[in-house]
Amino acid sequence: MSVLRVPDPAAALRDFVARVSPYDPEPAAGPVGSVDVRTGDGVETILVTPHLARALAEALAGYRDRADRGTCASCGGRRLDENLHCADCGRLHGVLGEVIASQAERVRLGEPAGSGDAAP
């Protein structure tokens, strides 16, 4: 069972339209298309004006997924965890990820904390 809240897509689009429509420079322009959102409650059609089309395109192009941590330099995979550890090839990325992995390896080997590369 998913613990993530799933927003109502039709409500999200209605809210977006309400936020951008006051700034439409050509409010009398006819729609250039429409978006049908099918949910358990039925179908909602949202008319897409030229201004809304530009706003949607800009918003979608600017979206970055919260789980997007870039691309693995070794294998090109996109599944980097919060420690920048590649789930596909195992490479660690970033200074913090390397330090955490190095410290974990020292603990695993039974070496004292603080020994190794970082000690002067």
Query: Interface with Zn ion by CB under 5 A: which residues?
Result: 72, 74-75, 77, 86, 88-89, 91
Least distance in angstroms from the C-beta of 26 to Zn ion: 48
Give whichever of 74 and 115 is closer to Zn ion, judged by the CB atom. Answer: 74
The nearer residue to Zn ion, 17 or 80, going by C-beta atoms, is 80
Distance CA(88)–CA(91), nearest Å, equals: 8
Question: Between the CA of residue 69 and those of 7, 78, 79, 88, 102, what are the distances in Å?
Answer: 23, 7, 8, 14, 21
74-95 per-residue burial string, b: 16 or more CB within 10 A, e: under 16: eeeeeebeeebbbeeeeebbee
CB of 81 to Zn ion, least distance (A): 11
Closer to Zn ion at the Cβ: 12 or 89?
Answer: 89
Least Å distance, CB 92 to Zn ion, is 10
